[in-house]
Amino acid sequence: MNRSPLPSDVPARDSVRSKLMRVILLTTALALAVGGVAMLLHELYVYRTTWTADISSEAAIVAVSAAPALASDDHAAAERNLNALETRRRVMAAALYLPNGAIFASLARPGEAPPPPRAPRDGVSAHGEQVELARPLERGGERLGTIYLRARFDVLGRIEAYAGIFTFAGMLSLAVAFVLSNRLQKSITEPLDAITAVARAVVNGRDFSLRAAKISDDEIGIVVDAFNKMLDEVQVRTRELGEADRRKDEFLATLAHELRNPLAPIRHAVKLLESDRIEERQRLWAREVISRQVQRMALLLDDLLEVSRITKGRLDLKVEEVDLESLIRAAVETARPLIDTKQHRLKFDLPPRPVILAVDPLRLSQSLSNLLTNAAKYTDAGGLITLTVGISQTGVAMAVRDTGIGFEPRALPEMFAMFSQADSAVARSEGGLGIGLALVKGLIELHGGTIEGFSAGPGTGSEFTIHLPRSTIVDRAWTAVDRA
Q: Are residues 326 and 301 in the same domain?
A: no
Range with the lowest mean pLDDT among 166-180, 200-214, 319-333, 419-433? 419-433
Q: Band of the pLDDT at 12, cuts 50, 70, 90?
A: very low
- By DSSP bridging, strand 356-359 and strand 463-469 are unpaired
Residue 86 DSSP code? G
Q: Are residues 48 and 170 in the same domain?
A: yes
- In DSSP notation, 403-443 reads -S----GGGHHHHTSTT--SS-TTTSTT---S-HHHHHHHH
Q: 141 by DSSP, 3-state: which?
A: coil
Structure confidence at residue 381 (pLDDT): 92
Count how many domains the chain has. 3
Domain end (from 270, 286, 315): 315
Q: Are residues 163 and 34 in the same domain?
A: yes
Q: Are residues 299 and 413 in the same domain?
A: no
Range with the lowest mean pLDDT among 166-170, 393-397, 453-457? 166-170
Q: Are residues 326 and 304 in the same domain?
A: no
Q: Rounded to 5 degrees, what are φ and ψ at 329? A: -65, -45
In a domain, 86, yes or no: yes
Q: Are residues 228 and 285 in the same domain?
A: yes
Domain end (from 175, 194, 221): 175
In a domain, 35, yes or no: yes
Q: Are residues 263 and 135 in the same domain?
A: no
What is the C-alpha to C-alpha distance for residues 467 and 457, in angstroms, rounded to an integer?
23
In a domain, 11, yes or no: no
In a domain, 214, yes or no: yes
Q: Is residue 258 over pLDDT 70?
A: no
Asked if residue 148 lies in contact with residue 134, where contact means CB atoms within 8 angstroms, the answer is yes
Q: Are residues 137 and 152 in the same domain?
A: yes
In a domain, 198, yes or no: no
Q: Residue 302 carries which side chain, given as an amino acid letter?
A: D
Q: What digits encode the pLDDT tens for the residues 82-106?
A: 888 888 888 889 999 998 888 988 8
Structure confidence at residue 428 (pLDDT): 43
Least Cα distance to 109 among 75, 128, 85, 132 occurs for 85
* Residue 430 belongs to domain with CATH number: 3.30.565.10
Q: 97 by DSSP, 3-state: which?
A: strand
In a domain, 295, yes or no: yes
Asked if residue 250 lies in contact with residue 218, where contact means CB atoms within 8 angstroms, the answer is no
Q: Is residue 324 over pLDDT 80?
A: yes
Least Cα distance to 437 among 425, 421, 448 occurs for 421
Structure confidence at residue 376 (pLDDT): 92
Q: What digits encode the pLDDT tens for the residues 100-155?
A: 888 988 888 888 889 999 989 988 887 777 888 898 888 877 888 898 988 887 77
Q: Between 139 and 9, whose confidence is greater?
A: 139
Q: Between 8 and 196, whose confidence is greater?
A: 196
Q: Are residues 399 and 471 in the same domain?
A: yes
* Residue 51 belongs to domain with CATH number: 3.30.450.20
Q: 288 by DSSP, 3-state: which?
A: helix
**Those residues with Cβ within 8 angstroms of residue 350's Cβ, 6 or more apart along the chain or in another chain:** 324, 325, 328, 387, 388, 389
What is the C-alpha to C-alpha distance for residues 200 and 227, in angstroms, rounded to an integer?
13
Structure confidence at residue 452 (pLDDT): 93
Domain end (from 130, 159, 175): 175
Structure confidence at residue 250 (pLDDT): 59
**Those residues with Cβ within 8 angstroms of residue 280's Cβ, 6 or more apart along the chain or in another chain:** none
Q: Are residues 454 and 423 in the same domain?
A: yes
- In DSSP notation, 18-70 reads HHHHHHHHHHHHHHHHHHHHHHHHHHHHHHHHHHHHHHHHHHHHHHHHHHHHH
Please state, as a whole number, how many other Cβ atoms lie within 10 Å of the Cβ of residue 467: 18
Q: Is residue 380 over pLDDT 70?
A: yes
Q: Are residues 348 and 263 in the same domain?
A: no
Structure confidence at residue 13 (pLDDT): 52
In a domain, 202, yes or no: no
* Residue 270 belongs to domain with CATH number: 1.10.287.130
Give percent of the chain with pLDDT exceeding 90: 15
What is the C-alpha to C-alpha distance for residues 367 and 382, in angstroms, rounded to an integer?
23
299: containing domain: 209-315
Least Cα distance to 295 among 350, 252, 337, 253 occurs for 337
Q: What are the DSSP E strand ranges found in 223-331?
A: 320-323
What is the greatest pairwise CA distance in the chain? 167
In a domain, 200, yes or no: no
382 torsion bin: left (phi>0), alpha (psi -120 to 50), beta (else):
left
Q: Are residues 426 and 373 in the same domain?
A: yes
